[in-house]
Chain A
Amino acid sequence: MIHLLGELSAVLATALFIFALYWMNDPKTARRGVIAGVTGMTVAVVATWIQPEIVHHGWIVLAILAGFLVGVPLSQVPLTAVPQRTALSHAFGGLAAGLVGTAEYFLWLGGPATAAVQLTPFRMSALVAEVILGFLTFTGSLMAAGKLQEVRWIPQRPVTYPGQNVVNIGVLAIAVALGVLLVLNPGAPWAGRAFLAIAGLALIFGVLLIIPIGGADMPTVISILNAYAGLAAVAMGFVLNNKLLVTAGALDGSSGLILSIIMCRAMNRSFTNVLFGAFGKAQPAALAAGEQKVWKQETVEGASQLLEQARTVVIIPGYGMAVAQAQHKVRELYDALTKRGVSVKFAIHPVAGRMPGHMNVLLAEANIPYSALVEMDEINPEMPQTDVALVVGANDVVNPAARYAKATPIYGMPIIDADKAKTVLAVKRSKNPGFAGIDNELYVQDNTWMLFGDAKAVLGDLVKQFGGGGIH
């Protein structure tokens, strides 16, 4: 009876999880998705806990309390730190899978003779997959979180050395080979040590996988780690013969897969190129051709006149805007302009920010209505009719060189056509080139005017120029 209850609640939880994701198709219904998710999770946890084989309750209560103690503060981080938190939670997911896999294996190994029967080749393969995926996701995501948080002892720059791919693939290959040996002889005298060696190699591989990856590729890397974490949960479901785990893991895995594909496409990269290309390794900028043009600087007064005469303005935000904490000034400018009847839209590049969708969240926090946030593909046809394109803290995603300069790392990357607007205003902190190390010729175009300075200060001055048009 109680087992049947367990099975039925697993079905209910599965349905609720699918609805949770389905409701994410519209911001209006999305919060319902959270309620569905929480309900499904509660049902599944309670149904598992009341099973008769659960006899020790104290540790479960303690671990759950500790989870709340750490989880609640982790959910209150500033939104600029959401990518780190996400990476950290991938790490926790991987750790849980790896630990449960290890526990299950040693249970079987140390259990009575009848238990060895359960170690079918299928289950053993799933166990090996669970432990490799789990532990590599754990250390890989920790490294990614460290890089995003800019922890001092984790190098920000990509770390590369000759033969790196050979070493990486070699480590993984040894782990897989040991895994195959284990599948063939799950109960051999050396099996326990081989299993631990696999776990150790997976932990090392996770670190090796992430150190050659640079900051600009983080949105893709986080998505790939998301897929790995999901697959680790699937493998765990195979091991425990638990369909709910397989389903939830598959949902997580396919979400990670889709986001990875979208991120790769947005940077014109292939999967293999992201993982093994040692990108971020700054290629020498080979844009020497042509005479050196110079940018034209504009004053805040001039810029505000330009904006005043505009009828359509497109603001193109980049992560630099968030670094300067200028979102709220952007909102004030948006308010001041819309009050004057100017149509203002925000052009969002898929990789703007440090994880998929990051820029939307940062702007939503500043109370900018989501109806004003427009994706790259939708805004680009409108750019030629746009009076003013205002670039705030974005660089590579508006660099026209991506269209034709084959020697640059950004070549082929889809960009927002800021250069096609009638007038371009670009707010930039310094006169240095952007992340990819390439000069941005958008800045030296005939119709571009530069506003040098801290984005928050510059935009604040702009808002003031509008005669106190900003609220607050």
Chain B
Amino acid sequence: MTDLGSMLFVFVLATFIGLGVIRRVSRLLYTPLMSLTNAISAIAVVGSIVVTGADHPLTIRILGAVALFASMTNIVSGFMITDRMLKMFKKQ
């Protein structure tokens, strides 16, 4: 129960922070915003690392490795393309 309670607590607070912060994001930057949040939510990579690297049966670790690959792709391409787009925004 404490598990459930504290996790839901974190979820609700994080959602409110998210709504507050995202609402202030410049409307010019919605496309880079999406690729940035994409890369950030690929934090799922930590779950994949545990599944892949712990002492589990082989099939489980294969699933983990594929998930790890997918998350890592999102991290690399997400951050790189965000930066590539942001570089293009010049004031004058």
A interface residue numbers (CB < 8 A to B): 13, 17-18, 20-22, 24-28, 30-31, 33-34, 37-38, 40-41, 44-45, 48-49, 51, 53-57, 59-60, 62-64, 66-68, 70-72, 74-77, 79, 82, 85-86, 89-90, 92-93, 95-97, 99-100, 102-104, 106-107, 110, 120, 122-123, 222-223, 226, 229-230, 233-234, 236-238, 240-259, 262, 350, 355-358, 360-361, 364-365, 367, 369-371, 373, 375
Partner of A27, one of B26, B44, B69, B76: B26
Shortest Cβ distance from A98 into B: residue: B67
Q: Is the CB of B38 within 8 A of A100?
A: no
Q: Is the CB of A96 within 8 A of B31?
A: no
Chain A residue numbers with a CB within 8 Å of B61 are 56, 59
A243-B90 CB under 8 A given contacts A54-B49, A60-B53: no
A248-B40 CB under 8 A given contacts A21-B25, A67-B76, A364-B89: yes
Q: Is the CB of B47 within 8 A of A71?
A: no
Which DSSP category, helix, strand, loop or mixed, fits chain A's interface?
helix
Shortest Cβ distance from B90 into A: residue: A369
Q: Is the CB of B50 within 8 A of A53?
A: yes
Q: Is the CB of B38 within 8 A of A89?
A: yes
Shortest Cβ distance from B31 into A: residue: A357
Q: Is the CB of A17 within 8 A of B40?
A: yes
Partner of B77, one of A31, A44, A71: A71
Q: Is the CB of B22 within 8 A of A21?
A: yes
A240-B50 CB under 8 A given contacts A25-B25, A110-B57, A233-B41: yes
Shortest Cβ distance from B72 into A: residue: A67
Nearest 7 pairs of A and B residues by beta carbon? A67-B72, A71-B76, A357-B30, A254-B18, A252-B41, A75-B80, A250-B14
Q: A226-B37, A360-B28 are in contact. List 4 more A-B contacts (CB 8 A).
A: A45-B49, A254-B18, A257-B19, A365-B88
Q: Is the CB of B38 within 8 A of A357?
A: no
Q: Is the CB of B67 within 8 A of A100?
A: yes
B interface residue numbers (CB < 8 A to A): 3-4, 6-7, 10-11, 14-15, 17-19, 21-57, 59-61, 63-92
Shortest Cβ distance from B78 into A: residue: A89
Chain B residue numbers with a CB within 8 Å of A241 are 3, 7
Shortest Cβ distance from A72 into B: residue: B76
- The CA-CA distance from A248 to B41 in the complex, in Å, is 5
Chain A residue numbers with a CB within 8 Å of B25 are 21, 24-25
Residue from the set A75, A77, A258 with the largest chain B CB neighbour count within 10 Å: A75
Chain B residue numbers with a CB within 8 Å of A57 are 53
- The CA-CA distance from A246 to B24 in the complex, in Å, is 22
Q: Is the CB of B91 within 8 A of A89?
A: no
A71-B53 CB under 8 A given contacts A236-B44, A246-B7, A364-B85: no
A48-B86 CB under 8 A given contacts A93-B42, A245-B44: no
Q: Is the CB of A251 within 8 A of B44?
A: no
Q: Is the CB of A55 within 8 A of B72?
A: no
A-B contact pairs, 23 of them (CB 8 A): A18-B17, A20-B36, A22-B24, A25-B25, A30-B29, A31-B86, A41-B42, A56-B61, A82-B85, A92-B73, A96-B71, A100-B48, A100-B51, A106-B59, A226-B37, A238-B7, A246-B14, A250-B15, A259-B34, A356-B31, A356-B33, A357-B31, A364-B85
Chain A residue numbers with a CB within 8 Å of B18 are 21, 250-255
In whole Å, how far is A272's beta carbon from the nearest beta carbon of chain B? 21
Shortest Cβ distance from B16 into A: residue: A254
Q: Is the CB of B85 within 8 A of A79?
A: yes
Chain A residue numbers with a CB within 8 Å of B47 are 96, 100, 236, 240, 242, 245
A24-B52 CB under 8 A given contacts A63-B65, A75-B84: no
Shortest Cβ distance from B23 into A: residue: A258
- The CA-CA distance from A318 to B92 in the complex, in Å, is 23
